[in-house]
Amino acid sequence: MLLKMKLVLLLLFMLSSVSLREMAHGGEEDDDLELERQVNLMHRPPVKTFVTEEGDTIDCVKINKQPALDHPLLKNHRVQAKPNLYYARFGRTSPSAKPQYRSRKPCPVGTVPIPRVTKEVLVRARSLPKMPSVVATGPDFPPSNQHVVSIRDNMVKNIKYGGGGGTTLYNLTVARDQCSFHNIWIETGPSNHISMIIAGWSVCPRLSGDALPRLFTYWTGDGFRNGCYNVLCPGFVQVHRTITSNFPLQPASVYGGQQSELIMYIQQDMYTGNWWLNVFYPPIAVGYWPKELFLNLRNGSLHVAWGGIGLAGSNGVCPPMGSGHKPDGDYTHAACFRGLHWTSSGGKFYTPMKEAEWVDRSNVYDLKNDHYQEKTGYTITYGGPGGHCSG
């Protein structure tokens, strides 16, 4: 009798083991099929394809057939070719300042460059958390592995139709599972339905596949229920024939020497309601987020913020931010964010009012607010070396 029971138990164990293996294998297959579906969703037959110096594959697709327009909220959307915007002026940091991007051949007229989305790219992006809000509250804002340094215009009675500034670029050494972001936030809404646009430069191997400083974007229209980094999902409408999200930004600044910066504007077109991304000066209009994507950014924003985010690796160590040095009063040492401004409905520019500063509690980063300066406008310096930042 005892022998029979043992045989029955052994048989049940073997069957359950096979079942578990089949379930795991089936789960892997389902996951692979979902990745394949997303890749197919983002792919369009290109008019032309080329590989960049950095190894990025770029597909030139017809502007009215780009993946962005597959978003269900954009079924009847017509592509806006040019923005109707006002721009704040930016002088050079020095007479010898160089452009922040390498030359790249443009896509043919009538087409736009779309960085090719692959399974590998999607798998890397899946490992990234949602970008943190600077106004959402609750136990998960920001997540424990994200460390925020920022200054925010806290005058909610002023509706803001955009924000801009220029921040210095640096080559940073980060681990494969770390990311260092330097950006502008535009956001409005309650924590569970926040609408948010973020743009800037990052060093993030999990997003770009390398450790180059690159242009990046992020958006969510409704409390992280939608949206993505760069163009890894439908939504952001590309219009420029050369500059894209994930574009490499070079040359970088030299500590104590020549400075190089990314100037950027995120502004709402008052005629169409679309939110445009513009970079460099004179401004280049990269593309836009249609107003239909957002629950709470249809008519301006209550909040604009500037700063950085350090995403810690699995070992709890944060990456360097900015130049990798904390502010010390010298604008060629720590990363400088200058010309901070927000835009009114009439196209006037205002510096931050009633500022709210935030520096994470880990003590690996810092922020110095110099307020308005005659030569650099409203200016902050920020960043730090990183290190153990679990506190």
Per-residue pLDDT of the chain (391 residues; tens, 9 = 90+): 555 555 544 545 454 555 545 544 556 677 788 888 888 878 889 999 999 999 999 999 999 999 999 999 999 999 999 999 988 888 765 444 555 666 788 999 999 999 999 999 899 888 899 999 998 766 566 677 899 999 999 898 999 999 999 999 999 999 999 999 999 999 999 989 999 999 999 999 999 999 999 999 999 999 999 999 999 999 999 999 999 999 999 999 999 999 999 999 999 999 999 999 999 999 999 999 999 999 999 999 999 999 999 999 999 999 999 999 999 999 999 999 999 999 999 999 999 988 889 998 788 999 999 999 999 999 999 999 999 986 5
Per DSSP (E only), the strands in 259-364 are: 261-268, 275-279, 284-289, 303-311, 317-318, 335-343, 349-350, 355-359
Q: State how far the Cα of 16 lies from the Cα of 315, in Å rounded to an integer.
A: 35
The two structure tokens encoding residue 210: 């390398």
Q: Is the dihedral of CA 240, 284, 303, 322 positive or negative?
A: positive
The domain segmentation of the chain, as residue ranges, is: 43-388
SS3 376: coil
The model's pTM is 0.90
Tokens of 170: 């640096």
270, 268, 265: which is closest to 281 by C-alpha?
A: 265
Please give the Cα distance from 232 to 243 (Å, whole number): 16
H-assigned helices in the chain: 2-42, 119-126, 205-208
Maximum C-alpha span of the chain: 93
pLDDT of 319: 97
Q: In whole angstroms, how far apart are CA 65 and each of 70, 75, 177, 359?
A: 9, 12, 34, 43
Buried b (16+ CB within 10 A) or exposed e, 124-156: bbeebebbbbbbbeeeebbeebbbbbbbbbbbe
> Could you give the 3-state DSSP secondary structure of residue 292?
helix
Question: Are 149 and 360 in contact, with CB atoms under 8 Å apart?
Answer: yes
